[in-house]
Amino acid sequence: MSYKITFIPGDGIGPEVSEAARLCVDATGVKIDWQEAIAGENAIKKFGEPLPDETVASVRKNKIAIKGPIVTPIAGGFRSVNVQLRQALDLYACLRPAKSYEGTKSLFKDLDLVIVRENTEDLYAGIEFEDKKPETKELIKKIELLSKREIREDSAISIKPISAFGSERIVRFAFEYAKRNNRKKVTAIHKANIMKFSDGLFLKTAREVAKKYSDIQFEEAIVDNMAMQLVQKPKNFDVLVLPNLYGDIISDLCAGLVGGLGIAPGANIGDEIALFEAVHGSAPKYTGQNKVNPTAMILSAVLMLRHLKETKAADRLENAVKEVLKEGKFVTYDLKQDRNDPTAVGTRQMAEAICRKLR
């Protein structure tokens, strides 16, 4: 049987790392009919928009996609294609494992955390009002009236919606993941001491969901305290579940604990559709240099194989990655002790070394 999978190369370093992942998946022998679709800067050049309808339609049809990173202009320009895709396809759960592998610059040995980030709500909902615009002034007046609090008139406003529906399904996802993967504990992370209603609702809902999973330990932690605890004693944790923004920040922190963005994989999962991508961005300064680390994308492909229930192929590919990292010979510059080590290999060559280790 051959799987139809949408392949979105992305921009910046995206095409190089996604090609490396495709090479490794093909080398496992799992038959895939890769259907290429574009998004980001290349899509603007061809279609005049960063996320063409046909790209979204391809993912909807195939239900599985793998995507290289895509540039998001800061403060202005087009809205994040990544966020748009997650919202358009209702990929509400972002799964980001943070696992230490021998041979990397992991700060801890044998760390194996899983971050489950809500993907559709919170300050990422994209509901924003620009400073000095008439609608912003109107909104400020309305809020002042309703809340009896003053807001400076030259403020910009971002809205943070958190629903019981969104909180319930993400916390349930975290517990279901824990159950399927023999995990012992789920920690819900929040700032409900300050945001009593939005984060408060997330926390209240998490407590309710937790009651249905008596075999799995549940605990709660305030996000700032969690940031410190993760740096000092990350092994106290197992599965973390967070609203969107905290999930974004804490998953990068966890990527840092296990050796950096070059090895941090991710998946965006909905009830029917799943899209796999590295945590890192498009690192534009390295574009086209065949230099960056393909591991994060290849491990994202491992998550994809697990999602397809191609467990043997997933294990073989993950083991091949482990061996190459442990040997430390055919690895990119960022994995060498000295980043200027002339024996570092390129993106493609590291992927080829991983293919050679497949057993």
CA pair distance 247, 255, nearest whole angstrom: 12
Among 97, 129, 124, 157, residue whose Cα is nearest residue 243: 124
- Binding pattern for the stretch 77-116 against ligand NAD, x by CB under 6 A and - elsewhere: -----x----------------------------------
Please select the residue that binds ligand NAD; options are 174, 296, 313, 321, rule is CB under 6 A.
Answer: 296
Whichever of 223 and 331 has its CB closer to ligand NAD, that residue is: 331
The residue range among 30-38, 65-73, 87-95, 154-162 that interacts with ligand NAD, by the rule CB under 6 A, is 65-73
Burial class of residue 339 (count of CB atoms within 10 Å of its CB; 0-12, 13-18, 19+): exposed
217: which strand partners? 185
Beta bridge partners of 221: 189
Chosen residue from 95, 98, 334, 345 binding ligand NAD by CB under 6 A:
334
For the bound state, the minimum distance from the C-beta of residue 282 to ligand NAD, rounded and expressed in Å, comes to 4
Nearer to ligand NAD, 262 or 270 (CB): 262
Binding to ligand NAD (CB under 6 A): which residues in 270-289? Answer: 277, 280-283
Q: Are 45 and 36 in contact (CB under 8 A)?
A: no
Instruction: Give the single-character DSSP code of 242.
Output: E
Residue whose token pair is 């969901």: 209
Cα–Cα distance list, 2 to 37, 56, 74 (Å): 18, 21, 40
Contact flag: residue 293 with ligand NAD (CB under 6 A): yes
Q: Which of 30, 43, 70, 258 binds ligand NAD (CB under 6 A)?
A: 70
Select the residue interacting with ligand NAD from 51, 66, 71, 140 (CB under 6 A): 71
Q: By C-beta, is 216 or 258 nearer to ligand NAD?
A: 258
Decide if residue 267 touches ligand NAD (CB under 6 A): no
Q: Which residue is nearest to ligand NAD (CB)?
A: 281
111, 115, 255, 292: which one binds ligand NAD (CB under 6 A): 292
The smaller minimum CB distance to ligand NAD, of residues 8 and 188, is found at 8
Sequence-ordered list of residues with C-beta below 8 angstroms from that of 24, at least 6 positions apart, any chain: 298, 301, 317, 320, 351, 354, 355, 358
* Nearer residue to ligand NAD within complex by CB, 128 or 219: 128
Residue/partner pairs of 225-230 with CB below 8 Å, 24 or more apart: 226/187, 226/189, 226/250, 227/253, 230/254, 230/257
- Please list the active-site residues: 124, 191, 224, 248
- Report the C-alpha gap between 218 and 203 in whole angstroms: 12
Asked if 18 touches ligand NAD (CB under 6 A), the answer is no
Minimal distance, residue 14 CB to ligand NAD, in Å:
7
Q: How many angstroms separate the CA atoms of 184 and 323, rounded? A: 28
| Residues at the interface with ligand NAD (CB under 6 A) | 17, 69-72, 82, 261-262, 277, 280-283, 292-293, 296, 334
